[in-house]
Amino acid sequence: MKFRDNILLYMLVPLVILCAAYSYFRFVVAHDYMIAYEGTCDPATQDCFIGCNDDACTDVYYYAKVQKYAVNLYAQCGEDITNCDAANACLPVDDQKCSITYCDPKIEEGACDDLSAESSAPSSVLAIPTESGLEKNTTSTTGL
């Protein structure tokens, strides 16, 4: 086998190995990516998104959308990021890369829980927002 006959193979194999090594370092070692998840939300004080645990929507939960840099999440919580209460707040030094998004009830009624504006209990009919509807019903505050 001559180098000239298989020049494409000799060029692609090292590039694929370098690309895989860089991706492994970036995502596994350095945690250089953004994480978006559902954080806790108190419906009595904030306008929260409404989610359901089952198809019939008999078990309702309230959440806010949190997006933050993975390095800061691991700095706050350590290795166990699933059961971490500190993950629901932004670090003071993380102003630009952290956002907590609450639902905006003025844009579309029924897409969020509006207990903070009402003095009565929540209504029995809850509208479940779709994924495309969440994006237009949000307001973002950074650096809480």
φ and ψ of 66, to 5 deg = -115, 135
Specify the pLDDT at position 82: 83
Specify the pLDDT at position 95: 59
pLDDT along the chain (144 residues), means of 10: 83 96 93 89 87 87 89 85 86 77 74 48 36 38 42
Specify the pLDDT at position 31: 86
The answer to whether the beta carbons of residues 64 and 102 sit under 8 Å apart is yes
The answer to whether the beta carbons of residues 43 and 103 sit under 8 Å apart is no
Specify the pLDDT at position 54: 87
The first and second tokens of residue 116, run together, are 């903070």
Specify the pLDDT at position 76: 86
| Per-domain boundaries in the chain | 1-30, 34-142
Task: Give the 3-state DSSP-derived string for the chain, with helices as H, strands as E and coil as C.
Answer: CCCCCCHHHHHHHHHHHHHHHHHHHHHHHCCCCEEEEEEECCCCCCCEEEEECCCCCCCEEEEEEEEEEHHHHHHHHCCCCCCCHHHHCCCCCCCCCCEEEEECCCCCCCCEECCCCCCCCCCCCCCCCCHHHHHHCEEEEECC
Specify the pLDDT at position 110: 63
The first and second tokens of residue 18, run together, are 């370098």
What's this model's pTM, rounded to 2 decimal places?
0.63
